[in-house]
Amino acid sequence: MSSKKPVVIYGVTGYTGRLVAEFLREYHMPFIAAGRDAKRIKEVLDKVPGIENADYEIAEVEHTTEALTKLLKGTKVLCNMVGPFMEYGPEAVEACLAAGVHYTDTNGEQNWMMACDERWGAKFAEKNLLLSPGIAQMYTTGEIAAQLCLETPGLDTLDILVLWKGFPTYASTQTIFSILTANFYYLENKKYLQWSPFAKAEAIVPGQHAVAMTLPWGGTAHPVWFKNDPRVKDCKAMGGVFERTVMEGVVQITQVVEDQIKKLPKDQQKKALSDMAASLQAGMPPRENQRVNTSVDSVHASGPAGRLHCVIHGTCNYKQTGLLQAYAAYHLCQAPPKKVGFASGCQAFGHRELLGVLQSFGLVSDPIITGNARRAG
């Protein structure tokens, strides 16, 4: 029996990685805090609330498949926070496959989701391992709302809205910019159709009189997760932050990307986008406040059986993400997932179970479900 701690947080020095550590402490789950700089990891973890009561160790590791495989041998779960994932994710996924370890991450890159499904999904399934990228508030909480609607047979079209109040972290900003040169898609009649890079919409926000500007936000994870769900033929998701100036800024930057950056060689595109992202978010946002940082996940589900509308109001989207990651690791250390291979958080752990986890920490309220469809049961 390995004496290694069962969970590895890779990229613990970022905003979300700290929260994963904090919630693993809540679950009394031992973990390894891993990254490139052990000194930096210690400095960061020393500031995590209650960390003195956590059972953890620090590991300095190079970002190579070989080094990560050696680190992961004898552990059970990797919670990966090192992005952008299309650039840095393959080494971590390959290491998990080689070491026989479950993989989760917090990515917001639709092209990475597709790559995980196509390149590694079957390989993880063969080893009874979970490959679950995108366990995060901006995807999982919205999927919970969608899955609640899909409990009613006959609803096959999902219109998803995800909004939150706050500002993206440095890592999130880098991800947002990294996907601006990629194509992104929605699902129509079980096929991927490409969004226009300039797509946007004014959305009616449940629970308030004002509207909000929304964007496809890289296509999101939802169309990928529901692509192979026989209940769903159409899935379209939009979202963003409540702060309109941030959304207007993304629209302006998209125009610059289309007019200027996409014309550059690939290596120059990457540097230009990274520099632009760093100029907008170079520091660490303040810790979230449940009285300020709210979230709304809204799903209109429709089909021949009628319509349902599910809304989940929440707080602190980054805390939701940290908790979801910590719970996934906690679960996988004790029991197998409901589905192996490529799977969403809801497919792997159950949407009602994840809803209960978020509610138990006071991060979401009871879902509000309305409509004229006949509910199952």
pLDDT per position as a tens digit, 126-138:
999 999 999 999 9
Q: Name the band, by pLDDT with cuts 50, 70 and 90, for residue 1.
A: very low
In the prediction, which pLDDT does 285 show? 74
In the prediction, which pLDDT does 171 show? 65
pLDDT at 269 over 90: no
**Residue range 305-309: mean pLDDT, rounded:** 92
Helix, strand, coil % in the chain, rounded to nearest 5 = 45, 25, 35
**Under a CB-based contact definition with an 8 Å cutoff, are residues 28 and 97 in contact?**
no
Establish whether the linkage from the previous residue to 84 is cis, with ω within 30° of 0.
yes
pLDDT per position as a tens digit, 33-47:
999 999 999 999 999
pLDDT per position as a tens digit, 62-96:
999 999 999 999 999 999 999 889 999 999 999 99
pLDDT at 294 over 60: yes
Nearest partner of 92 among 62, 118, 122, 113, judged by Cα: 62
DSSP-assigned beta bridge partners for residue 185: 194
Those residues with Cβ within 8 angstroms of residue 226's Cβ, 6 or more apart along the chain or in another chain: 146, 158, 187, 232, 235
| Tokens (6 digits) for 249 | 């800024």
DSSP output for 220-270: -SHHHHHTT-TT-SEEEEEEEES-HHHHHHHHHHHHHHHHTGGGS-HHHHH
CA dihedral of 153, 129, 23, 218, whole degrees rounded to 10: -60
pLDDT per position as a tens digit, 47-56:
998 999 999 9
pLDDT per position as a tens digit, 209-264:
989 999 999 999 999 999 999 999 999 999 999 989 888 888 888 888 777 777 77
**Under a CB-based contact definition with an 8 Å cutoff, are residues 110 and 184 in contact?**
yes
Nearest partner of 364 among 347, 377, 351, 345, judged by Cα: 351
What distance in Å separates the CA atoms of residue 250 and residue 245, rounded to the nearest whole number?
A: 9
Phi first, then psi: give them for residue 313, nearest 5 degrees: -90, 135
Q: Name the band, by pLDDT with cuts 50, 70 and 90, for residue 169.
A: low
Higher local confidence (pLDDT), 376 or 247: 247
In the prediction, which pLDDT does 139 show? 95
What distance in Å separates the CA atoms of residue 332 and residue 278, rounded to the nearest whole number?
A: 35
In the prediction, which pLDDT does 281 show? 52
What distance in Å separates the CA atoms of residue 323 and residue 87, rounded to the nearest whole number?
A: 25
Predicted TM-score of the model (pTM)? 0.93
